[in-house]
Structure 1
Amino acid sequence: MKKITQFFLVAVVMLFATASMAQSTIKGTIIDAEIKAPLPGANIIVKGTTNGVSSDFDGNFIIESDKTSGQIVISYVGYETVTLTFSGTTDLGKINLSTDNTLEEIVITGSGVIDLAEDRKTPIAVSTIKANEIREKAGNWDLPEILKSTPSVQNIKGGGFGDGQMFLRGFDQTNTAFMLNGQPINSPEDGRMFWSNWSGVLDVANAVQVQRGLGSSKLAISSVGGTVNIVTKTVDRKQGGFVQQMIGNDNYIKSTAYYSTGLMENGWAFSGMLGHWQGDGYVDYTDGQGQTYFLSFGYKPNENHLLNFLITGAPQWHAAAGSGSIQEFLDNGRRYNSWNFANVDSPNLLHGGRYPGGRNVYHKPVANLSWDFNINENSSLSTILYGSVGRGTFAQARTSGSNVTYARGSNNNHNWYGLVTNYENQISEHFNFNLGADIRLYNGIHFRSVNEFITVDAVNAFSNYNGGAYQLTNAFGGINPWNVTFNTNDDHGERFGYDYEEDINYYGVFGQLEYENNNFTAFFQGSVSSQSHVRTEYLNAQNEGVSEESEKVNNPGFNVKAGGAYTISELHKVFVNLGYYSRQPFHSDLFISDRNGNELIEPAVENQKITGIEAGYQLGGTAVSANLNVYYTIWDNRTLLDTNGEDQGDPAFRLFQTQGVKQIHSGVELEIFTRPSDNLKLNGFLSIGDWKFDGVGIQRTFDEAGNITDPETEVNLDGVEVGGAAQFTAGLFADYMFLPRFSVDGTWNIYNNLYSQGQTTVESPPIKLPNYNTMDIGLSYKMLLGENRQNSLQFRVNINNLFDEVYLESVSGNTPLSSNPTENWKGVNTSNTGRFGYGRTWNASLRYSF
């Protein structure tokens, strides 16, 4: 009996001791705040201990603690960290984790200038790609590739690194506005985008937002197709960083390191990124290499002020790919590059002793200083001052017989400065008012010089400005972009071919009034602007040694936009927007050519007239959400330019200018986002467009001296299809997490109704290209590390065009089918100039985040 009593006594003591050791049981369910679905694999740790568990596939967790009260820390890489208090046995219920890359969670400097859709309550047709998706899928691609699964977006990869193009609703990227942290980055001369200049931006991007059509921008920008806002890191909330190593097809390698102090107690923050990449290129003989850098200094002295200075650049060189007929590619393969020369003696040879036909060498850094000032609880002022001193050249091989003699540099330099400022005031409970200014000052410097001597020591030239014949004996730049930056050619006597400058100044003011009352919102935007152009000629000046300025051209412009939205219920919203732009012509539309002085095109090119109407429906839900948009855009009085003939003063040179051209683009876009199960995402999109020219244009033909050589002719374009981008696109995206932090995803894209580009008419219409589809897949695994498992090691693999689809990406020409079947390929005459899309490519990366 005594032993039994002792046994029970010991058992009771052990029971109470165990109870004292496990005094609390905490449970709950982790939910993704954005999609309202369980979040498996989240980490739950009792603060101050190493006691932790992970949430299961349903997001549930149970954790025991020997403390009667305390705190638990809930974290998941890519999401904000949440700290919650417990006391005894606690059921925390549903715990929402928000991604730390949502537009609401990131710190955006210049927030009043960066026109994001979330900042306006009246919806637009918009798609947002956030940091998680960007860093997983960017790989070794430029931005257009990341956006290809966005409705009405077409990506053209081009031949070499950074040579891609993007179409939005059928408009090329010269007519889509690209904004970096609120500042325009399209070329002021012709609207073009050079993705090689921005190759490091995706490494530090917090979000990229594609606003199709009218968009939410208050600036008077070139947004016929839409606006793409790139928002980079500036001031981070938290300390941390990453190092990443990537490899890819064709000997591609990229190393990147980033670190941020976060916003420190003294109000300062610093972020920096450095990277280096190099590779052979998918197309033969298109080697390239470069660096990327990003530096950001932020200061927040108090709650009312936030300042940030940012500078970023991507010095690089890459060889270009020559064009060819479709037949040449069929004979030589998709990697074929006609533009390279063998058997030359140069230290800068490519594979097997070959010199590239052309090589881009550029360094065009951009810097901005932003200031956000919260004046009071109802008003704020946001200002960005930016500038860029860019230097670059296209080094083209010049030959004599079979030898390359020298590389001729076509230099495109710029000095570019601007200011954007916006004042916002919450006038009353229902009205919000914005007023701002947009100033852009641009100086473009264009000339030819010797980039590199190869088998000769001098080049003969002729110039009126320099008094006749002379010799070029100095080379500038080579293939080092830093040499192009700091060893510039400022001597007019060492220039030839052409030598001129352009000054383009732009001044605009804009305003917006927004109304909100219960379920109804409305807005009105307007802007007016003035743009001036002056061209200064040096090489072809009429008087020796005297530069000549052109007549100053002034063009006023304006735009107005208005819209409204009605919230039917919590899940249903409808909206309609409309706008009209009177857009100034590009600088390149005003002058005859770059070789004949300051001759203005007469009659003068008038403003383009753009009318846009769009409507939409939004379905919000936890398991299924959707966006449906319809649009109708009229682009009237546009100018088409094309040239014929060779440079170097060939008398066969002709400039064809067609004025009064009208395009009508209409279509419907659908996006669907679903969550069929806790570990499966399934999204899709569909875009159906109808893009055609309308009516007739007036064509004039000029010779190199600016004289009209042929009578005006009417060009019938009525009903002609607009080429360049597929008018039907669709896609399906799936992401399946089959283990915590271990997922596989795939994207299937379809392209149809794609037409050729070039001079087309009713009598000579564009060619319809064969439809095609591509499949991309990816695999991700994320390992959590560190004492509190706050660090991670992520492995990612991307395979693009998994099934190695052979397809024509673009065609320039409209030669119809041949009667000889051997001269056709999939319904296209193989004598047309074209380019095939890339075959199967891949990249793999290892990223350590801390």
Structure 2
Amino acid sequence: MKIFKNALLFGFIFLTSLTVFSQSKITGVVVDGEFNQPLAGASVVVKGTTAGTATDFDGKFEISTSEKAGVIVVSFLGYETKTVSYTITGNSLNLGNIVVSPDAGQLDEVVVVGRGIIDLAKERKTPIAVSTIKAAEIQAKVGTADVTQAMVNTPSVYVAGQSGGYGDSRITVRGFQQDNTAFLLNGQPINGMEDGKMYWSNWSGMSDIANFIQVQRGLGSSKLAISSVGGTVNFVTKATDKKEGGFVSMGVANSDYFKSTAAYNTGMNAKGFGMSIMMSHWQGDGYNQGTRGEGQNYFISFGYKPNEKHNFNFLITGAPQSHDQNFTKRISDYLGFGRKYNNNFGYLNGQYISERTNFYHKPVANLNWDFNINSTTSLSTVLYASWGRGGGTGNYGGGKRSISQLNPYTGSNQSTYIDFDQIYANNLADADGVGTGSNYAIRASMNNHAWYGIVSNFKKELNENLNLNFGLDLRTYNGDHYRQISNFVGLNGWSESRFLRDNNHVIPNPNTLPSATNTVNQSYNINPWYAFFNVADDNQKIDYDYSETISYGGVFGQLEYSNDNFSTFFQGSISNQTHQRFDYYDYQKEFQDSEKISNVGYNVKGGAAYNFAEKHSVYANAGFYSRQPYHDNIYLNFTNQVNPLTENEKVLGLEAGYTYKSKIFTASLNGYRTTWEDRVVTTSTVQAADGTIGTTPVLAGDVIFTSNQGVKQVHSGLELDFVVKPLATLDIKGFASFGNWEYEGKAFSRRFDENLNLLVENETDLDGGKVGDAAQTTWGLGARYEIFERFSIDADWRNYDKLYSNVAAKDNLELPSYDLVDAGISYKMLVGKEKQNSVNFRFNMNNVFDEVYLSELTSNIKTTDNISSSNPGLGTYQSNGRVYKGVADGNFGYFGLGRTWNFTIRYNF
């Protein structure tokens, strides 16, 4: 028996040895085709067997198999599955790089242009705090929202303003608003040259054409002379596709939203030519009352690659649109008339009319040239241009009439919807039919511009470890601003008189100045296509008519050293910016040209990183910016008078971080401290009731602007984000950010109305006040699970806390914290003879649990404040029970969107 057992044991060992020694090793590296970077955590298996593994941090894999010939299957969530046939002739086989492509669905990107211009974090080895959002996620998560929705699961990013209407959202990064975050499109700056702001309605097609979005928080990796106070957001669009194909799609959503899109790619022919084109149309009623909108998106790209040294791509894209707008309301208004209440519209003879419509068409064109001079030297250049036409409508004159209704919540009557029937009757009764200050018309405030620029970067690999970049950034911008009539509402014309300013810029004694009278009789269509090709004649402009020219020239450079475990870099840039204003309406002819102002700005950045173990790395960066003030802050109160207090704003950024990466878990921890001095911030509110500010009468519904200068901001915080991949079919991700954003010192405050009249000036102590408009503490957790092949579900949860009102105040008002949950389902069905085509289905539901929350406030009324300052006997908000979730109901703001949904079906061929 013992002999039998020994023989059996020997036989088992012998057979096992034969099996082991007969196996061969297959190795390789899985590479992300979109970023040309190793892809960690990808599943690699031998088809038809249990032999498999996952790629490590460097994208490498090793499989032992007894199959001498077969097929390797590589898969990763969000990427197309890749199969590779193999034959092993010895004991091992190295498959080299296996490139997998993102499953983007729309205009799949193959050719990426302007690599030397588009400053991505991956192009520099010294790291930064960064989050990259790929096309597949953008297209899945955005739905009917602005492209800003794609960034909601990013640390220290807060998205607000969606309740204003289509395209009216905005984002803050690390507590800094959009004019202090740099936005780039294929390497070209796209922040407004006058005020640094972003208007997402001009970019409504971005979710269709974006190849990826990279949010670089803090100093960022951009080499341009731009001040990334909060961060830098890079939008990289698709270029001309190498393969023939295309797609058609249709989407529907809540509020009667509909969108249709079609795209076609010719593919690159034998001579290196190719073209990609996409067109879409959308329309909807808007989530809130009176926020209808519609528009189109177009994208046309021509590619030409004559040889391996040169690559050219020309693209033009635009998103003409119009949408009606909702402004902030008192909480008591929402509680009385519903959270979707909007009083910016009414009816004339039963036909809907909005008083507030934004309409714009801004084509953007750029020509990219990549020149690979040799194996160590390259030159990338982009020539770009944009032409904007359009503006926003509003009431003009003092003849506005509104319908009075009972507010069920307050028990009092108040003016609500606009009574256009009464306005029309009053205008018809005017003796000569020509309106003046006591009548009513709808005006359009036009903001037209032409912008041209070039960015060029030269890159040289000095040796194996040292890289040098340097280049130039040139821009010229001309803006035209005036008002015209869009609807006379029964009038035949409009007449107004004004005194003409001299070089004193103000009107100390109007009797000593000449005057002018202007009568207009033409109204202009606010269709964005019409507005793009039809500009009002000078004699048809009202209220104001001025232009500005801004010229910008900068040079930049970067030197980076890196080896296997250590990297360090230094960046520097310097720029000169000139401004001049031309006022044709309010100034005498000889005084129409302002003084030309020139300002020099610069920035320096440096940092280092160290990989102290295979999975661990640390970094630290520092930067200082001396940023020129924006044009709108150089000239006082929208006149030609130069602001004597304006100087370069000073920004100091410090940041450090730690990263851990393994096959199944990746995490980053970042800390930062940013100071911003000599700052200028402008905010706006809506006047609650007729009254006076200073000595000037103002009307209910007027927009009041407040400009604050001089105060210092200090923003510090910690950010954590991580990704866990416990299974090949499951992704788990999360983030957390803890900020402390405060003011230091005093602010000099100016208030003016929407007709640009100065109302009052004040000095305000803001020391220790909390910076508002973004949640300082946020948490998020998300997961995506592939239930079976090509069918997945996903969900994201976010919590927002320490959110303060969007005002500059020492004792700022804190809003209630809130939670949001978004969820979605995706299915991809393969069709066609070779299963190379597909039909994609996607359903999203945002705010699944219909959370009721205040997304932003623009006032700072406390519960202990009196309801009426003129009649203290009425008591406080608290004593009258006028409190909502701990907030006085007299505050102005927006409720966030409730539960929304969207569904898209797309056929790819």
TM-score normalised to structure 2 length: 0.81
Q: For 2:659 and 2:322, how far apart are their aligned partners in 1? A: 45
Could you tell which deviates more after superposition, 780-789 or 831-840?
780-789
Q: Which residue of structure 2 aligns with residue 354 of structure 1? A: 352
Q: In structure 2, what residue type is equivalent to 1:746?
A: A
Could you tell which deviates more after superposition, 218-227 or 690-699?
690-699
Q: In structure 2, what residue type is equivalent to 1:143?
A: V
Name the SS of the counterpart of 2:613 in structure 1: coil
Q: CA deviation at 1:84?
A: 2.8
Q: How does 1:392-541 map to 2 (within 5 A)?
A: 392-398=390-396, 399-401=399-401, 402-403=419-420, 404=423, 406-463=441-498, 468-476=516-524, 478-489=525-536, 491-541=537-587
Q: CA deviation at 1:577?
A: 0.5
Q: CA deviation at 1:28?
A: 12
Q: For 2:326 and 2:758, how far apart are their aligned partners in 1? A: 34
Q: Which residue of structure 2 aligns with residue 848 of structure 1? A: 907
Q: Which residue of structure 2 aligns with residue 570 of structure 1? A: 614
Q: For 2:109 and 2:470, how far apart are their aligned partners in 1? A: 26
Q: Which residue of structure 2 aligns with residue 693 of structure 1? A: 743
Shift of the 310–649 alpha-carbon distance from structure 1 to 2, 3 Å rule, reads: farther
Q: In structure 1, what residue type is equivalent to 2:443?
A: R
Q: For 2:132 and 2:480, how far apart are their aligned partners in 1? A: 36
Residue 665 (1) aligns with residue 670 (2): no
Q: Which residue of structure 1 aligns with residue 204 of structure 2? A: 199
Q: Which residue of structure 2 aligns with residue 133 of structure 1? A: 137
Name the SS of the counterpart of 2:470 in structure 1: strand
Q: CA deviation at 1:91?
A: 11
Asked if the contact 1:443/1:502 (under 8 Å) is kept, the reply is yes
Shift of the 709–281 alpha-carbon distance from structure 1 to 2, 3 Å rule, reads: closer
Q: CA deviation at 1:382?
A: 0.6
Q: Which residue of structure 1 aligns with residue 827 of structure 2? A: 781
Residue 557 (1) aligns with residue 562 (2): no
Q: Which residue of structure 2 aligns with residue 677 of structure 1? A: 727
Per-residue CA distance 1:765-805 (angstroms, 9 max, x = gap) = 21110000000000011111223322211100000000000
Q: Which residue of structure 2 aligns with residue 830 of structure 1? A: 889
Q: For 1:451 and 1:167, how far apart are their aligned partners in 2? A: 33
Name the SS of the counterpart of 1:539 in structure 2: coil
Instruction: Return the match for 1:616 from 648, 657, 669.
Output: 657
Shift of the 131–816 alpha-carbon distance from structure 1 to 2, 3 Å rule, reads: same
Asked if the contact 1:446/1:500 (under 8 Å) is kept, the reply is yes
Residue 150 (1) aligns with residue 194 (2): no
Per-residue CA distance 1:252-279 (angstroms, 9 max, x = gap) = 0000111222332211121110000000
Q: Which residue of structure 1 aligns with residue 764 of structure 2? A: 715
Could you tell which deviates more after superposition, 629-638 or 655-664?
655-664
Instruction: Return the match for 2:225 from 220, 224, 227.
Output: 220
Q: For 1:665 and 1:731, how far apart are their aligned partners in 2? A: 21
Shift of the 842–441 alpha-carbon distance from structure 1 to 2, 3 Å rule, reads: same
Could you tell which deviates more after superposition, 118-127 or 402-411?
402-411
Q: In structure 1, what residue type is equivalent to 2:603?
A: N
Asked if the contact 1:592/1:704 (under 8 Å) is kept, the reply is no
Residue 606 (1) aligns with residue 647 (2): yes
Q: Which residue of structure 1 aligns with residue 680 of structure 2? A: 639
Q: In structure 2, what residue type is equivalent to 1:479?
A: I
Q: In structure 1, what residue type is equivalent to 2:614?
A: E
Instruction: Return the match for 2:795 from 746, 750, 769.
Output: 746
Name the SS of the counterpart of 1:158 in structure 2: helix
Q: Which residue of structure 2 aligns with residue 109 of structure 1? A: 113
Shift of the 705–412 alpha-carbon distance from structure 1 to 2, 3 Å rule, reads: closer
Q: For 1:389 and 1:648, how far apart are their aligned partners in 2? A: 37
Residue 766 (1) aligns with residue 817 (2): no
Per-residue CA distance 1:451-480 (angstroms, 9 max, x = gap) = 23332221222356796223211122x231
Instruction: Return the match for 1:790 from 817, 822, 836.
Output: 836
Q: CA deviation at 1:431?
A: 1.1
Name the SS of the counterpart of 1:733 in structure 2: strand
Per-residue CA distance 1:589-631 (angstroms, 9 max, x = gap) = 112223xx31222x23001000000001111111111111000
Q: Which residue of structure 1 aligns with residue 6 of structure 2? A: none
Asked if the contact 2:442/2:487 (under 8 Å) is kept, the reply is yes
Q: CA deviation at 1:138?
A: 1.5
Shift of the 757–237 alpha-carbon distance from structure 1 to 2, 3 Å rule, reads: same
Q: CA deviation at 1:239?
A: 2.5
Instruction: Return the match for 1:283 from 282, 285, 288.
Output: 288
Q: How does 1:125-274 map to 2 (within 5 A)?
A: 125-156=129-160, 157-274=162-279
Residue 334 (1) aligns with residue 376 (2): no
Q: In structure 2, what residue type is equivalent to 1:387?
A: A
TM-score normalised to structure 1 length: 0.87
Q: Which residue of structure 2 aligns with residue 756 of structure 1? A: 805
Q: CA deviation at 1:570?
A: 2.2
Calculate percent identity across the aligned residue pairs: 46
Q: In structure 2, what residue type is equivalent to 1:501?
A: S
Q: In structure 2, what residue type is equivalent to 1:554?
A: S
Could you tell which deviates more after superposition, 422-431 or 400-409?
400-409
Name the SS of the counterpart of 1:474 in structure 2: coil
Shift of the 486–29 alpha-carbon distance from structure 1 to 2, 3 Å rule, reads: same
Shift of the 709–288 alpha-carbon distance from structure 1 to 2, 3 Å rule, reads: closer
Q: Which residue of structure 2 aligns with residue 376 of structure 1? A: 374
Q: Which residue of structure 1 aligns with residue 507 of structure 2? A: none
Shift of the 91–160 alpha-carbon distance from structure 1 to 2, 3 Å rule, reads: farther
Q: Which residue of structure 2 aligns with residue 50 of structure 1? A: none
Q: CA deviation at 1:175?
A: 0.8
Q: Which residue of structure 2 aligns with residue 349 of structure 1? A: none
Q: Which residue of structure 2 aligns with residue 367 of structure 1? A: 365
Asked if the contact 1:39/1:55 (under 8 Å) is kept, the reply is no
Q: CA deviation at 1:174?
A: 1.2
Q: For 2:386 and 2:464, how far apart are their aligned partners in 1? A: 41
Name the SS of the counterpart of 2:614 in structure 1: coil
Q: For 2:97 and 2:469, how far apart are their aligned partners in 1? A: 34
**Consecutive unaligned residues in structure 1, runs of 5 or more:** 1-26, 45-52, 60-67, 346-351
Q: How does 1:3-42 map to 2 (within 5 A)?
A: 34-38=39-43
Per-residue CA distance 1:474-519 (angstroms, 9 max, x = gap) = 122x231110011221x21100101000111111000000011231
Q: Which residue of structure 1 aligns with residue 784 of structure 2? A: 735
Per-residue CA distance 1:335-354 (angstroms, 9 max, x = gap) = 11121123x14xxxxxx633
Name the SS of the counterpart of 1:189 in structure 2: coil
Asked if the contact 2:163/2:287 (under 8 Å) is kept, the reply is no
Q: Which residue of structure 2 aligns with residue 64 of structure 1? A: none
Q: Which residue of structure 2 aligns with residue 84 of structure 1? A: 85
Q: For 1:105 and 1:448, how far apart are their aligned partners in 2? A: 42
Q: For 1:114 and 1:561, how far apart are their aligned partners in 2? A: 18
Q: Which residue of structure 1 aligns with residue 384 of structure 2? A: 386
Shift of the 135–95 alpha-carbon distance from structure 1 to 2, 3 Å rule, reads: farther
**Consecutive unaligned residues in structure 2, runs of 5 or more:** 1-25, 32-37, 55-67, 402-418, 424-439, 501-513, 699-703, 864-876
Q: CA deviation at 1:429?
A: 1.7
Q: For 1:760 and 1:423, how far apart are their aligned partners in 2? A: 46
Q: For 2:634 and 2:624, how far apart are their aligned partners in 1? A: 23
Shift of the 649–389 alpha-carbon distance from structure 1 to 2, 3 Å rule, reads: farther
Asked if the contact 1:507/1:531 (under 8 Å) is kept, the reply is yes
Shift of the 373–830 alpha-carbon distance from structure 1 to 2, 3 Å rule, reads: same
Q: In structure 2, what residue type is equivalent to 1:446?
A: H
Name the SS of the counterpart of 1:321 in structure 2: coil
Q: For 2:674 and 2:741, how far apart are their aligned partners in 1? A: 9
Q: CA RMSD in A?
A: 3.3
